[in-house]
Amino acid sequence: MTQPQGIRLNKYLASAGVGSRRACDTMVQQGEVVINGQTCLNPGYRVQPEDFIKVNGRRIEPLEIQSIVLHKPAGLVCTRSDENNRATIYELLPPRLHHLAHVGRLDLDSEGLLILSNDGELTQALTHPSHKIEKLYQVTTENAFENSILTQLEKGVFTEVGKARAVSVKRISSRRLEMVLNTGLKRQIRYMIQAVGHRVKRLVRVKIGELTLETLKPGKWRFLEKSERDALMSLSEKKRGSKNSSRG
């Protein structure tokens, strides 16, 4: 009964108020969940928009598909709860949006554009490695750098997470540059800057595809417009189509 896209059943049930994910797992495994007239025993089943779901005979209404754009400030982690009791991005959101998952992430000290969504198709489009969606970052280093590092970053450098390269790098000032990436290795930019002999003082993601923060202030959020979603989906399809044509 598994599907390649959609929201995991345990997450879907939890966000609909049925119970915690662990409790929902138990309900599924005990045969209390029926999907389209058939008992489902797989907590990892991917819920589709047309699915008719019941738990112990009670209809679970389909979730409204929602996506938001958040301007993440530094000092917050991308998780619902943190074992070290650090502040999280969900403290910026009303409870009615706490079921949304972050699409990709920004580390504790990074700032900028972050999408949160329960839209499985959009999440897949933005995060699948083969789609190579470009993201623009503004980077401030602790010390002034030479122009030679721009070429190094574009050609690729060896880091703790493997070889990494930027699609493009542009110098803004003696300590500021813009980097475009189409990969998402953990702490990639920080490791890349470290590999060329510098340290990141500030890191801000300002663009995903053609989506920007515009006038959104740090700590604020807004709903993603349909036209913006369509543009992101279209970009993903173009990337996928380009890859397929190159294989041919």
Same domain? For 218 and 125 the reply is yes
Residue 161 or residue 88, greater confidence: 88
197 occurs within a structural domain: yes
Same domain? For 42 and 116 the reply is no
Task: Read off the pLDDT of residues 5-32 as tens digits, 9 standing for 90 and up.
Answer: 678 898 888 777 787 778 889 999 999 9
Query: What's the mean pLDDT in 227-240?
Result: 87
Same domain? For 147 and 56 the reply is no
Q: How many distinct structural domains can be found in the chain?
A: 2
Same domain? For 46 and 89 the reply is no
Last residue of some domain: 43, 60, 77? 60
Task: Read off the pLDDT of residues 169-217 as tens digits, 9 standing for 90 and up.
Answer: 999 999 999 999 999 888 999 999 999 999 999 999 999 999 999 999 9
Say yes or no to pLDDT of 3 above 50. Answer: no
Catalytic residue from among 107, 109, 119, 230:
107
Residue 55, domain extent: 7-60
> Confidence class of residue 80 from pLDDT cuts 50, 70 and 90?
confident
244 occurs within a structural domain: no
196 occurs within a structural domain: yes
CATH number, domain with residue 104: 3.30.2350.10
Same domain? For 115 and 200 the reply is yes
Say yes or no to pLDDT of 247 above 60. Answer: no
Residue 1's pLDDT is 41
Residue 89's pLDDT is 97
Same domain? For 38 and 146 the reply is no
> Confidence class of residue 243 from pLDDT cuts 50, 70 and 90?
low
235 occurs within a structural domain: no
Say yes or no to pLDDT of 245 above 60. Answer: no
> Confidence class of residue 142 from pLDDT cuts 50, 70 and 90?
very high
Query: What Cα–Cα distance (Å) separates residue 143 from each residue in 59, 153, 174, 175, 238?
Result: 59, 17, 8, 6, 39
Residue 3 or residue 113, greater confidence: 113
Query: What's the mean pLDDT in 70-97?
Result: 93
19 occurs within a structural domain: yes
The helix (H) or strand (E) run that includes residue 194 is helix 188-195
Same domain? For 217 and 128 the reply is yes
Same domain? For 32 and 119 the reply is no
Residue 65 or residue 37, greater confidence: 37
Average of per-residue pLDDT values in the chain: 90
> Confidence class of residue 81 from pLDDT cuts 50, 70 and 90?
confident
- 107 tagged catalytic: yes
Same domain? For 120 and 214 the reply is yes
Same domain? For 84 and 162 the reply is yes
Residue 2's pLDDT is 41
Residue 65's pLDDT is 83
Query: What Cα–Cα distance (Å) separates residue 24 from each residue in 34, 55, 91, 152?
Result: 13, 10, 24, 49
Residue 206's pLDDT is 98
| Per-residue buried b or exposed e for 74-89, using 16+ beta carbons within 10 Å of the residue's own CB | eebbbeeeeeeeeebb
Same domain? For 77 and 140 the reply is yes
**Residue 176 exposed, middle or buried by CB count within 10 Å (0-12, 13-18, 19+):** middle
Other beta carbons less than 10 A from residue 140's beta carbon? 14
The helix (H) or strand (E) run that includes residue 34 is strand 33-35
Task: Read off the pLDDT of residues 98-126 as tens digits, 9 standing for 90 and up.
Answer: 888 899 999 999 999 999 998 878 888 99
Residue 241's pLDDT is 61
Same domain? For 31 and 150 the reply is no
